Amino acid sequence: MSTRFASDQPSGPSNHVNNVAIVGATGRIGTHILRALLATNLHRITALTRPSSAPLPADVTRKEIDYAVPSSLVSALTGQDFLIISLSATASRDAQTKLIAAAAEAGVKWIMPSEYGTDVAARPDVGEDILLGPGMLAARKQIIDAGMNFVGLACGPWYEYSLSEGSRSFGFELKERRVTFYDRGETRITTSSWPLCGEAVAKLLSLPVLPEGAADERPTLSRWRNQSLRIGSFFISQREMFDSVLRVTGTKEADWEAQYEDVGERYERAMKGVREGNMALFGVMLYARVMRGDGASDLEDGKANAVLGLGEENLDEMTRVAVEMAKGKLQDK
């Protein structure tokens, strides 16, 4: 898209995102993105799914795809303005590459690639250290080279999910009342809840694509063209998480078993295991790296919460969600 203003465009094209396609609409973050988009009532939404996928809301169009049949991807993406890709950890390694190629052939203009973490362009060193960055940057390049635009969602670790997942992530075993602090547990990182991620995407796609003219100072989708959209729920340390857990559970610090681990040593140990083929240590490696204390997951500079009008969140409410998830009651919802 070469025009700077909507008034420069030839008559006909809409200055809004009307048709949105989602891959992973029933997944962890995809569920929340879909819910938030539906709440705006601004878009025609299509979910690209496998035949065995979970049920979808009645007002979402389902299109079944087969990654081994590129024409099925192109057909499903024809007429779409924006593609959101949220792939599961079990997806084939070339799934996103195939989706981007199909989107280009289908005429899609915008893609949100499957990133959802740190700002890989701002911190390529972190991307290298967690082994995910090169693939993310390659996907961005593929999108640009194909003449499309991307917006990456940089949200840091998902708060309620990471808090509920046990010692491998934020270090908390909530049911067992055990916590492992990385170093002294005082490194602050940007984290985001799933609902905030969904709200951010919905707010973004509700914006005009371009300013109407030079005097139009409203935020637009094009403001984040080929960049990361930085958001965050809480800029928080493990110690502050622990304080919230104590409030929510009505427990005292003496009720918990605490241990401390050098975060650098934790990262090196986990990375060694990953390189030897023990992928169970991948999450340990990833979280240890982003919580090392060198700003790897500090997204506060340039955070777009205020620009998008994102709502304020209550820390203890989201901690309570994590506690319930750890009990198995919320099933990642």
Question: 182 forms bridges with which residues in the sheet?
Answer: 261
Task: Round the CA-based radius of gyration of the chain to a whole number and report it.
Answer: 20
Could you give the residue ranges of the DSSP H alpha helices within 152-219? 159-164, 194-206
Q: Is 19 helix (H, G, I), strand (E, B) or coil?
A: strand
Q: How far from 180 is each of 56, 236, 251, CA to CA, in Å?
A: 39, 16, 17
The per-residue pLDDT for 331 is 46
Nearest to 86 by CA among 128, 35, 126, 122: 35
The per-residue b/e assignment along 274-284, b for 16 or more CB within 10 angstroms, e otherwise, is beeeeeebbbb
Q: Which residues, given as ranges, of the chain have pLDDT below 50?
A: 1-2, 330-333
How high is the pLDDT of residue 92? 84
Burial 188-221 (b: 16+ CB within 10 A, else e): bbbbbbbbbbbbbbbbbbbbbbbbeeeeeeebbb
DSSP assignments along 140-153, one per residue: HHHHHHTT-EEEEE
Q: What is the pLDDT of residue 12?
A: 56
Residue ranges of the domains in the chain? 17-154+194-230, 159-192+234-298+306-327
Rounded distance, CA 289 to CA 9, Å?
A: 45
- For residues 207 and 197, the answer to whether their CB atoms sit within 8 Å is no
Beta bridge partners of 173: 178
What secondary structure letter does DSSP report for 10?
A: P
- Tell me: domain 159-192+234-298+306-327, CATH 3.90.25, correct? yes
Architecture of domain 17-154+194-230: 3-Layer(aba) Sandwich (3.40)
* Predicted model pTM: 0.93
Q: Which of 299, 295, 271 lies closest to 283 in space, CA to CA?
A: 271
